[in-house]
Chains A and B, each alone.
Chain A
């Protein structure tokens, strides 16, 4: 798989764990995009399209991991390819939850981090559905920031996250 948008950033790679988190529906509409690296708008759009193309063709017989060959122009003469990134994703009903991490990161830990996040959303929105994410997009960002920050896992306890979200909900 080649994600060209990502490759351009190889040189400015900052040794982050998570590059971005994307929630997309089957039609490719973005329901959440959280970027932990500086991408410009065109690059973001390209990545969104490419991730969609990559994950939607996969089925249950496939792994939940997609390695990414990003093309990076390392110097003016040669085009080099790196196996630097991977997309860890899981599908829930019509939504794909995707996390892009370093190729050496722990696949299963991030796969379950996705599930942990989804369970929190499910509790918070009481049986979450796609429309909850649309109408409350600004709240989803808060949930993300509670659980992931600076490309790292911040908090994993569902109880603690939900308690904090409930407290914030009570504020005006």
Chain B
């Protein structure tokens, strides 16, 4: 079986989803919310998303890709939001391999080579 994508919004939904896939490799991309036209308030997320999506075919079999909208800009700016507090996220976009220290933050997500490295190497 290849890989599958789950789309979630908000911290609780993210955690519930990640826990339900416990045992499989989980990759997550965190982005700012999108408006009615589908554009995120986070310009770097707009740049990063297509780069990441283009590399998804490199995901290992059995893995899960969770696309997570974190919230609106005000929520994100709050230094105590749950993503910052519990997942130690420092910026959006963040692309990470759940349960490991491996992650790419902000401009690092623009680089296909790095995204590919995160998806394919140990």
**Same complex origin of A and B:** no
